[in-house]
Chain A
């Protein structure tokens, strides 16, 4: 602001210097990073930070009821917006409650900054009250972490944290601040550039490798693109779509890549992998040239590595050199940012002659589309997912939990744009879905956001319904209630002779629970009630709506390539 215009405020104490305490320095640093929202829960070691936040009108702190929710919400916020998500917790138990969420962010390469309080410097290492070695614990689950030992170092630590979290291969960064550092007075310099000589992500691909890739694709008979989460972090959707449009090459997406391309585009084959479409899996396995971009050859995609696309030459584009050749050797490796590399590659590719290839793919697509049965009187999970897709036009932001419902939604929800499918992919952390939707709603209040969860996973983080109520979020939560830890039940039915050990759930009445929290609760027991309930929930404004949908308790999620096997062993029907 150019000048002060308010006269009514009491005069500020005469400014002796630019002195402030560590907590105020932190808040100012966050402001300079453009932070508008952070999710957290206070405690002794972070009290000075909360005191400083009390004065920060422009930074909105969302009090969650469990720190796990803070971390998942930060992930949801980041994935919906492309900005860095921020969460905060106190020392000891507060910080350890963040662990699952940070691990999720690490596995799925999500930019998150976590600020934790630590016990005061003089007692660090003495097993002080609520002390945990948080930088030690989080070393393998963060891209970087740091214990700040002087208030004056806070601006630098925060700048480095946001830079590291949000650039290159994104990931979580944790900044641990002892309570007395938050209280220490200092004269911060906010303009100092952090020196990170060991951190230099490569963005531009090697031109001769790109030319070689273009040649391989132009000459291919059965090419396919295998695209994933890296397209979304890079913002490379236009380039990927241009490649498909220009060359006609089919595109298969990973779970993390959903939304990287409009899934209703005729060239898009949707999701591949363990629960992907049969046609996408057949196609990649018969391909002669595979352009893998922003993917990490996860075992849920490849199955048994030696049988994965055995005849193909692999072109692999990734910003992280360690991903290239990690699981499968790359014939043409290209280190760089997906957007830049694809932009350079697309004009060089001549449309290959692939009419016969497409004929084959269309045959597969016709022969084995996703399908489901409607058993008498039972509500089909897939029907609910299909309906949500149709009612939203694939244009809502969907956050899922982990399990069968997650896979059904991945199969039936056709994303139209990037950053609309938010799911715990690499870690597969139950309890993720609802908090991630909460975070996404704060990032995109203008957008329809919904959570699709299982009856098992929802119970891991549902206490934060009150947070959604408190903030009057228009947030429908659909529970595909099969009275079971469905995915576990499915494995037991396929691989453990139907011995359902600890996978059948006794559940609370979720609709009443919603009511108790002050949300809207709807219970759906019959197929003919489903559509009305979904419409009501999607239209509910100013309050979350819990829709408990009693679904077929015996349905299995298919197709399925059993763990560690190959496309030849795919289970199509049960």
Chain B
């Protein structure tokens, strides 16, 4: 995110076992580093999960993080993605205030960002947007003036481009 000194992305493949999330998070926490976002989900192999972790750390420390993560017995692979061409995506659900007067205006903004309306009432509209973190940030900024009632963001997921594995 824009207010971070440096946001480093580390992609981690882990065995889907109890406690793994705590081990990974604990390893980062004990080094005094903030986890900016962390997303976990299954991969093509149900016994393996992928964690995409964005940490607020200096570039020269990122590889050290990846090395420490590889030492965890349940970690199968840990890659520091900073210099690798990759696709990043985030998903956000944003619930904004609407009035008959602002409804069309908001939908126009949503169109530009290819966001979709997933729920609508006479007072609120819930929008779904996906994209890079910066795009989501920009969308959120534009919606601020209508009054954001609630927001949920998934955190970033990332894959390396092309045939190389992440």
Contacts and interface: CB of A to CB of B under 8 A. Distances in A.
A85 B67 CA distance: 27
A368 to B, nearest CB: 37
A212 interface: no
Nearest to B13: A198
B19 A197 contact: no
A140 interface: yes
Interface in A181-235: 196-199
Contact of B26 (A139, A147, A325): A139
A196 B17 CA distance: 12
A500 B60 CA distance: 42
Contact of A321 (B22, B30, B70, B72): B70
Given A321-B67, A322-B67, A326-B64, A198 B26 contact: no
Nearest to B72: A198
**Interface size class of chain A, counting residues whose CB lies under 8 Å from the partner chain:** 10 to 19
Given A140-B26, A198-B15, A322 B71 contact: yes
Contact of A197 (B18, B26, B30, B76): B76
A322 B23 CA distance: 17
Nearest to A149: B18
Contact of B68 (A147, A164, A196, A322): A322
Contacts of B90: none
B74 interface: yes
A118 B18 CA distance: 17
Interface centre among B14, B23, B71 (most CB of A within 10 A): B71
A136 interface: yes
Contact of A199 (B18, B26, B30, B73): B73
A139 B30 CA distance: 11
A144 to B, nearest CB: 5
Contacts of B67: 321-322
Contact of A198 (B19, B22, B30, B76): B76
Contacts of B76: 197-198
A197 B17 CA distance: 13
Interface centre among A144, A196, A198, A199 (most CB of B within 10 A): A198
A320 interface: yes
A143 B27 CA distance: 12
Interface in A151-188: 164
B75 interface: yes
Q: Which 5 A-B pairs have the closest CB atoms?
A: A322-B67, A198-B76, A144-B73, A199-B73, A198-B75
Given A144-B73, A198-B76, 8 more contacts: A135-B19, A139-B26, A143-B73, A197-B76, A198-B14, A320-B71, A322-B68, A322-B71
16 contacts: A135-B19, A136-B22, A139-B19, A139-B22, A140-B26, A140-B27, A147-B18, A164-B73, A198-B72, A198-B74, A198-B76, A199-B73, A321-B70, A322-B67, A322-B68, A322-B70
